[in-house]
């Protein structure tokens, strides 16, 4: 199980696991809860170049449609086909089996939140 206190977060309710220049991205349990039961996930292709702040995927639930934003600029190096095949993983395991994609990012953006700052954001 992922130690969520070691992750970084965005105010778009995404989590980032940063390992050198490799950034694995998913949505938080808070975002998954707000969406409701996820029924469809669309992700970019491996090899796609993405720009921080742009839409790179879609997450549909029984309640709404959400967008997945690239939190960093770089090249997609992995996508989680399991979450495309079984979108419920986003709800059942958002920090582990429900990860979305990995981006090779030469630099990290400013303004990432730590676990405490993110917890404060969602409690407001």
Tens digit of each residue's pLDDT (9 = 90 or more) over 5-41: 889 999 999 999 999 999 999 999 999 999 999 999 9
| CATH domain 4-107 topology | OB fold (Dihydrolipoamide Acetyltransferase, E2P) (2.40.50)
- Average pLDDT, stretch 66-94? 96
Q: Which two tokens stand for residue 19?
A: 């390992």
Distance of CA 74 to the CA centre of its chain: 15
Domain boundaries in the chain?
4-107
| Alpha-carbon torsion, ordered 87, 91, 93, 97, to 10 deg | 10
Could you tell me which residues come within 8 angstroms of residue 20 by beta carbon, excluding any fewer than 6 positions away?
none
Distance CA 64, CA 75 (A): 28
pTM for the full predicted model: 0.93
Phi, psi dihedrals of residue 38, rounded to the nearest 5°: -75, 130
């Amino acid at each position: 199980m992922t130690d969520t206190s070691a992750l970084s977060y965005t105010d778009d309710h995404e989590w980032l696991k940063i390992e050198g220049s490799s950034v694995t991205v998913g949505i938080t349990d808070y975002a998954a809860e707000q969406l409701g039961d996820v029924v469809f996930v669309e992700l970019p292709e491996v090899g796609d170049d993405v720009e921080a702040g742009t839409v790179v995927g879609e997450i549909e639930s029984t309640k709404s449609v959400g967008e997945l934003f690239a939190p960093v600029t770089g090249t997609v190096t992995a996508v989680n086909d399991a979450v495309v095949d079984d979108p419920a993983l986003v709800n059942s395991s958002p920090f582990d089996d429900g990860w979305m994609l990995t981006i090779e990012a030469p630099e990290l953006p400013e303004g990432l939140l730590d676990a405490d700052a993110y917890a404060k954001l969602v409690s407001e």
